[in-house]
Amino acid sequence: MAAGTAPNIRDVAELAGVSHQTVSRVINDHPSIQPQTRARVEAAIKTLGYRPNSAARSLARMRTGRIGAIVDSPEHFGPMNTLRGVEVASRRAGYFLSSVSVNDDSVDAINQSLEFLLDQNVEGLCLIAPRLPLLEVIRRRGLQIPSVVIATDTAHLVDDNGLQASVDQELGTRMMVDYLLELGHTRIAHLSGPHDWGDARSRRATFEATLAAHGLTPAAIVEGDWSPDSGFAAGPGLIEGTGATAVFSANDQMALGLVHYLSEVGLRVPDDVSVVGFDNTPESAHMIPPLTTVRQNFEKLGEMAIGSLLARIKGARVERETLRTQPSLVVRSSAGPRPATQRSL
């Protein structure tokens, strides 16, 4: 091997005393290699610092070792952190992750994103927090590769044998509403997420069902768009004339905007109105007051989704599997007992 040049497969073969075909078989995990031969080749690879060509290995195995991900609206906390969890899980499993994002609901934009991934011969596809337009396009395409819907609690799966992985939205919502009920609140309003998000619909439906189970109805329901600005704008509809003593926000960012609104109109949190959120964003612990919220384990979600997807890629028959991680309640100081006397606007 010439000085200053990277070692190649023939250098490894020479040092190990085998043919370069044998080295190739070791690299590609061929079962016919004797243990002592494999050990010599692996030792030579380590000594020389040889790095196998990943493209050549993929060709030899008829695999690319690559998973694709389409992320809907990645600017939001949930999709962004789900992508991170999927990326970590893919890397641990020895796969590369190629991702594209979509913010445009048009069929052309979604198809372009999909074609970008298919051109890379991805072995499987992750749909992260997809809204209905993306799911409909994928379903109509009739993909020939395994797919998994991640972080959206919805029955709209990709195909008849679709895989789905999500945080248990119903459980997280029930835990939060039950907590407010235990504090004595009976007039609870809901700041919901956009209706075209599966998780937003699930949180709203569970919120209403949980109250109904206790003979209660929502003090008010106002739809936001996940942003702090929409939380601020929703304030009057949630508070003015509703008698609400607590508000369950479908995410922490909207809760932040709502707390700002309450401060502007002279209402104190939680003395006058309790406010709770969902997601446990990093800044939620530093709001004034710190926000009571629901934590979603995105790393665990990624592990489950990728594990199930890889099982399908490797030939396992996984029929309409739905995987769920359990959320946890994070109690801080933004929620307190129902006030003895209510201040109204």
| 57 — pLDDT class (breaks 50, 70, 90) | low
4 conformational bin, left if phi > 0, alpha if psi -120 to 50, beta if neither? left
Residue 2 has pLDDT above 80, yes or no: no
What percentage of the chain reaches a pLDDT higher than 90? 49
- pLDDT in the model for residue 157: 44
Span of 105-109, 198-202, 213-217, 341-345 with lowest mean pLDDT: 341-345
User: If you average pLDDT over residues 254-276, what whole number do you get?
Assistant: 97
User: If you average pLDDT over residues 98-117, what whole number do you get?
Assistant: 86
Length of the chain: 345
Residue 273 has pLDDT above 90, yes or no: yes
Q: Which two tokens stand for residue 181?
A: 């009920």
* Dihedral angle of Cα 336, 338, 340, 341, to the nearest 10 degrees: 110
Distance of CA 89 to the CA centre of its chain: 12
Q: Which two tokens stand for residue 231?
A: 């939380």
Query: Distance between CA 23 and CA 41 in Å, rounded?
Result: 6
User: If you average pLDDT over residues 118-143, what whole number do you get?
Assistant: 84
* Dihedral angle of Cα 98, 146, 164, 107, to the nearest 10 degrees: 70
Question: Which of 62-71, 282-291, 307-316, 318-327 reaches the highest mean pLDDT?
Answer: 282-291
| 4 — pLDDT class (breaks 50, 70, 90) | low
Neighbours of 343 (CB within 10 A): 14
Burial class for 139, CB neighbours closer than 10 Å (0-12, 13-18, 19+) = middle
- pLDDT in the model for residue 160: 47
Decide which of 1 and 278 is more confident. 278
Residue 134 has pLDDT above 90, yes or no: no
Work out the mean pLDDT of the chain and round it to a whole number: 87
| 175 — pLDDT class (breaks 50, 70, 90) | very high
What percentage of the chain reaches a pLDDT higher than 70? 89
- pLDDT in the model for residue 105: 74
pTM for the full model?
A: 0.77
Q: b/e for 21-31, b at 16 or more Cβ within 10 A?
A: ebbbbbbeeee
User: If you average pLDDT over residues 190-195, what whole number do you get?
Assistant: 96
- pLDDT in the model for residue 64: 79
- pLDDT in the model for residue 158: 47
Please say whether the beta carbons of 41 and 11 come within 8 A.
no
DSSP three-state, residue 285: helix
Please say whether the beta carbons of 133 and 144 come within 8 A.
no
- pLDDT in the model for residue 78: 86
| 154 — pLDDT class (breaks 50, 70, 90) | low
User: If you average pLDDT over residues 23-29, what whole number do you get?
Assistant: 78
Residue 319 has pLDDT above 90, yes or no: no
Residue 5 has pLDDT above 70, yes or no: no
DSSP three-state, residue 126: strand
Query: Distance between CA 277 and CA 134 in Å, rounded?
Result: 27
Please say whether the beta carbons of 32 and 25 come within 8 A.
yes
